[in-house]
Amino acid sequence: MGKLGWTIDREEGLVTVRGAGVYDLAFATSLRLAMWAEGTVGYRKLLDLSRADIRLTSEDLETMVASTRSAGATIAGPIAIVLGQDPDPLLLDMAVLLKSRIGNRRRLRVFTEEAAARHWLSSEAGIAELSGALSRRPHLGVANFARVR
């Protein structure tokens, strides 16, 4: 079928996922772990899934929602998912369900065109830079809160 992979553009602060491979829980998990290891959690993410074979069960979707929500919008960068001009209705439903379940905890939008997705991600660049800076700060914790105030 081909290969689905990602590239990291540190200068642009952008992670791009594309290809014609399988997008499943194992791929999503490896991507998430790589973003933490590479220090790119705060980067903007462009997921071009227009040629990917999406294989996610309901349980997989719940796991992805939980891990995506856990990073939060103050640490993790925005996500733009590109499904293509004529996406499979099931794929579109899955993307909308993912967005709905994540709610306001992450900035995530679904697009049919890559140009529109890139435009939105560009408008989110300042927020993504702040997210990246916050993701590198040490966690204060509750015990240190009183001393900071």
Cα 124–chain centre separation: 13
Among the ranges given (68-72, 74-78, 107-111), the one the predictor scored with the smallest mean pLDDT: 68-72
- Please tell me the pTM assigned to this model: 0.78
**What is the average pLDDT across 83-93?**
88
**What is the average pLDDT across 90-106?**
81
pLDDT confidence of 31, banded at 50, 70, 90? Answer: very high
15 pLDDT more than 90: yes
Asked if residue 48 lies in contact with residue 82, where contact means CB atoms within 8 angstroms, the answer is yes
69 pLDDT more than 50: yes
Mean pLDDT of the chain: 82
pLDDT confidence of 122, banded at 50, 70, 90? Answer: very high
**What is the average pLDDT across 4-19?**
94
CATH of residue 10's domain is: 3.30.750.24
pLDDT for res 132: 52
Among the ranges given (7-11, 12-16, 54-58), the one the predictor scored with the smallest mean pLDDT: 54-58
Q: How many domains does the chain have?
A: 1
| Residue 11 structural domain | 4-148
pLDDT for res 7: 95
Asked if residue 55 lies in contact with residue 26, where contact means CB atoms within 8 angstroms, the answer is no
pLDDT for res 147: 40
pLDDT confidence of 149, banded at 50, 70, 90? Answer: very low
